[in-house]
Amino acid sequence: MSQDKFIQSEQSVAKCLAYKKKEGYLEIQDLIAEETPVAMVFNGISHAVMMATPQDLNDFALGFSIAENIINSLEDMYALEIHTTDNGIELAISISTETFNRLKENRRSLIGRTGCGLCGTESLNQFKKIQELLTLNTSRAIFSSNNIIKALSSFPENQMLQKQTGSTHASALCSNNGDILLTREDVGRHNALDKIIGASYKMEYVDFGELFLITSSRASYEMVQKAAKLNICLLVAISAPTALAVRLADSLGITLIGFARNKNYNIYTHKERIR
């Protein structure tokens, strides 16, 4: 497609000429989601390139750094600069010397597709070490089925990019009473959850053990892993879970719900939290 097909391009959405089949072909202006390479650069060293939607990049940088075990807290990140280049976007992240030394020891080279939690892990031993960093969730929170359905019902209303383009994933952080506190969107499901993690870490005095997450995608191993990093005890997925995700959620004390649609859902682990 030639560049003149694009009428206008904003940060996250582009207008594109298209031809709609309807009793012939009708020329239309379609809204499509932007997708761009986003490089994570720590203390001047490029660590990962992810294909992502170019919005909420501050949250993305922080959430990715936490989810990938690069930093442990907000205090480990000293500064963030966003540089737009001809080839994409560079997130220049300054981190503490201790965390940078740890990163160099475990350095991975990631070329992301649309977000990838394990891409670039160099060995099965590294995979095992990632699992060992996750801790058992002992939250005694109880969640009402009605409040879960309440959050699911309002979830689409909070997905502005999806409404415009039909091509993005979303994650939402929800209160125990079913109110949506935060929503983040991205072309990559992992990226959307990383953005939620980053935004959540900026919130003060929040007990994440009393909150729950919704994701518009399937529940993969990586999604459960990211929920665990946020100390979330309930993950609700619109689509199916994988077997490994169910095993991980069960071992970590996380309640995992899948196929959450039209006021129905399946509970795969730790049903005792749902009333």
Evaluate the CA torsion angle 67, 73, 76, 82 in order and state its sign. Answer: positive
Amino acid identity at 205:
Y
Q: Verify whether residue 233 is a known catalytic residue.
A: no
| Residue that is written with structure tokens 């682990």 in the block | 269
Q: Which of 76, 69, 71 is nearest to 133 (CA)?
A: 69
Give the integer Cα–Cα distance in Å for 225 and 175. 20
The one catalytic residue among 116, 119, 174, 233: 116
**Helix axis angle, 189-201 to 57-67, nearest 10°:** 90
Cβ pair 120, 109 in contact under 8 A: yes
**DSSP assigned state of 143:** B
Give Cα 137 distance to the centre of its chain: 20
Cβ pair 249, 255 in contact under 8 A: yes
Q: Which residues are catalytic?
A: 116
